[in-house]
Amino acid sequence: MNYYITSSLVNFILSSFLGVIVFVKNPKNKTNLTFSLFAFSVAFWSLAYFFWQISTFETSALFWLKILMAFAIFIPAFYLHFVFSLIRHYSKTILVFTYTIFFIFLLVDLFTSYFVAGVKPILSFKFWPMPGIIFHLFLLIWAAYIVYSTYLLYALHQKSIGLVKMQTKYLLLGMAIGFTGGSTNYFLWYGIPVLPFGNILVSIYVATTAYAIIRHRFLDIRLVIARTVAYSLLLVIISVFYVSATFVFSSFLLGSAVVFNQTLVYTGLTVFVALSFNRLKIFLEKLTDKIFFKGSYNSDRLLSKLSTIMSTNIELGTLCNEVLDTLIRQMRISKGAFVILGEGLASVYDIVDIGFSSNLTLSYNQVSAFFPFAETIVFDELEENHLKNLMRELDISIAKTLMVKNQVIGLLILGEKSSGDVYPEQDLKVLEILAPEVAVAVQNSLSYDKIKKFNVILTEEVKKATSDLQIANTKLKELDQLKDDFVSVASHELRTPMTAIRSYAWMALHRSDIPLSQKLERYLYRTLISTERLINLVNDMLNVSRIESGNVEIDPKSFNIMELVTDVIEEVKVKADEKKLHLSALQHPLPPVFADPDKVHQILLNLIGNAIKFDYPGGNIVIDFFTDGKIVEISIKDTGSGISRENLSKLFHKFSRLDNSYSSIASSAGGTGLGLYISKSLVGMMHGNIRVESAGEEKGSTFTFSLPVATQANLQNISQFQIKAKGEAKGLEQVAI
Partner 1 sequence: MNDGTIKILIVEDDQFLWEFYQELLAAEGYIIDVAADGEIGAQKVLAGGYDLVLLDIMLPKKDGIQILKELKAQSSGARSGVVVVLTNLGQDSVIKECFNLGANGYLIKSALNPDQVLAEIKNFLTKAPNG
Q: What is the DSSP string of 618-685?
A: T-EEEEEEEE-SSEEEEEEE--SS---HHHHTTTTSTT----HHHHHHHHHTT--S-HHHHHHHHHHH
Instruction: Please state the closest distance from residue 495 (CB atom) to partner 1, in A.
Output: 4
Is residue 341 a contact partner of residue 409, using CB atoms and an 8 Å limit? Answer: yes
Q: Which residues pair with 400 in a beta bridge?
A: 412
Q: Which stretch binds partner 1 (CB under 8 A): 385-393, 473-481, 497-505, 670-678?
A: 497-505
Q: Which stretch binds partner 1 (CB under 8 A): 50-58, 151-159, 169-177, 501-509?
A: 501-509
Binding residues for partner 1 restricted to 598-617, rule: CB under 8 A: 598
Pick the binder of partner 1 from 216, 417, 502, 637 (CB under 8 A).
502
Is residue 221 a contact partner of residue 18, using CB atoms and an 8 Å limit? Answer: no
Q: Is 736 in the site for partner 1 (CB under 8 A)?
A: yes
Binding residues for partner 1 restricted to 571-590, rule: CB under 8 A: 574
Q: Which stretch binds partner 1 (CB under 8 A): 102-110, 431-439, 498-506, 645-653?
A: 498-506
Contacts of 79 (CB under 8 A, 6+ apart): 38, 145, 146, 149, 175
Is residue 351 a contact partner of residue 365, using CB atoms and an 8 Å limit? Answer: no
Pick the binder of partner 1 from 234, 245, 498, 648 (CB under 8 A).
498
Instruction: Please state the closest distance from residue 633 (CB atom) to partner 1, in A.
Output: 25
Pick the binder of partner 1 from 158, 276, 503, 584 (CB under 8 A).
503
Cα distance between the two ends of the chain:
149
Binding residues for partner 1 restricted to 691-730, rule: CB under 8 A: 729-730
Tell me how far apart the alpha carbons of residues 37 and 22 are, in angstroms, rounded to a whole number.
Answer: 10
Of residues 532 and 615, the one with the C-beta less far from partner 1? 532
Instruction: Please state the closest distance from residue 654 (CB atom) to partner 1, in A.
Output: 21
Binding residues for partner 1 restricted to 83-142, rule: CB under 8 A: none
Half-sphere exposure of 333 (CA within 13 A, CB side): 30
As a whole number of Å, the CA-based R_g of the chain is 60
Of residues 499 and 689, the one with the C-beta less far from partner 1? 499
Instruction: Please state the closest distance from residue 545 (CB atom) to partner 1, in A.
Output: 13
Q: Is 533 in the site for partner 1 (CB under 8 A)?
A: no
Half-sphere exposure of 487 (CA within 13 A, CB side): 17
Q: Which stretch binds partner 1 (CB under 8 A): 226-234, 288-296, 440-448, 484-492?
A: 484-492
Alpha helices in 191-298 (DSSP H): 204-216, 222-248, 259-292
CA angle (55 as vertex; 51, 56 as ends), nearest 5: 170
Instruction: Please state the closest distance from residue 583 (CB atom) to partner 1, in A.
Output: 17
Pick the binder of partner 1 from 125, 506, 523, 525 (CB under 8 A).
506
φ/ψ of residue 410, rounded to 5:
175, -160
Tell me how far apart the alpha carbons of residues 153 and 83 are, in angstroms, rounded to a whole number.
Answer: 6
Q: Which stretch binds partner 1 (CB under 8 A): 75-83, 110-118, 486-494, 645-653?
A: 486-494
Instruction: Please state the closest distance from residue 732 (CB atom) to partner 1, in A.
Output: 6
Pick the binder of partner 1 from 507, 586, 695, 718 (CB under 8 A).
507
Tell me how far apart the alpha carbons of residues 326 and 726 are, in angstroms, rounded to a whole number.
Answer: 64
Which strand ranges, in their side-by-side order, compose the sheet holding 336-341? 348-354, 336-341, 407-414, 398-404, 377-378
Instruction: Please state the closest distance from residue 662 (CB atom) to partner 1, in A.
Output: 24
Contacts of 80 (CB under 8 A, 6+ apart): 94, 95, 98, 145, 148, 149, 152
Q: Is 535 in the site for partner 1 (CB under 8 A)?
A: yes
Pick the binder of partner 1 from 496, 517, 660, 719 (CB under 8 A).
496
Instruction: Please state the closest distance from residue 465 (CB atom) to partner 1, in A.
Output: 36
Instruction: Please state the closest distance from residue 544 (CB atom) to partner 1, in A.
Output: 14
Number of residues this chain uses to bind partner 1 (CB under 8 A):
28
Of residues 192 and 574, the one with the C-beta less far from partner 1? 574
Helix (H) or strand (E) holding 364: helix 364-368
Of residues 466 and 499, the one with the C-beta less far from partner 1? 499
Contacts of 26 (CB under 8 A, 6+ apart): 32, 219, 220, 221
Q: Which stretch binds partner 1 (CB under 8 A): 3-11, 384-392, 410-418, 488-496?
A: 488-496
Instruction: Please state the closest distance from residue 488 (CB atom) to partner 1, in A.
Output: 8
Q: Is 3 in the site for partner 1 (CB under 8 A)?
A: no
Pick the binder of partner 1 from 453, 492, 522, 657 (CB under 8 A).
492
Instruction: Please state the closest distance from residue 676 (CB atom) to partner 1, in A.
Output: 19
Q: 489: burial class by Cβ within 10 Å (0-12, 13-18, 19+)?
A: exposed
Q: 45: burial class by Cβ within 10 Å (0-12, 13-18, 19+)?
A: buried
Tell me how far apart the alpha carbons of residues 245 and 168 are, in angstroms, rounded to a whole number.
Answer: 45
Tell me how far apart the alpha carbons of residues 192 and 694 are, in angstroms, rounded to a whole number.
Answer: 158
Beta strand 582-585 pairing with 620-627 = parallel
Is residue 129 a contact partner of residue 53, using CB atoms and an 8 Å limit? Answer: no
Binding residues for partner 1 restricted to 388-427, rule: CB under 8 A: none
Q: Is 495 in the site for partner 1 (CB under 8 A)?
A: yes
Q: Which stretch binds partner 1 (CB under 8 A): 199-207, 285-293, 490-498, 556-564?
A: 490-498
Of residues 648 and 729, the one with the C-beta less far from partner 1? 729
Q: Is 511 in the site for partner 1 (CB under 8 A)?
A: yes
Q: Which stretch binds partner 1 (CB under 8 A): 139-147, 318-326, 495-503, 647-655?
A: 495-503
Pick the binder of partner 1 from 500, 695, 713, 718 (CB under 8 A).
500
Q: Is 510 in the site for partner 1 (CB under 8 A)?
A: yes
Instruction: Please state the closest distance from residue 618 (CB atom) to partner 1, in A.
Output: 21
Q: Is 483 in the site for partner 1 (CB under 8 A)?
A: no
Residue type, 648: L
Contact positions vs partner 1 (CB under 8 A): 488-489, 492, 495-500, 502-504, 506-507, 510-511, 535, 539, 574, 598, 729-736
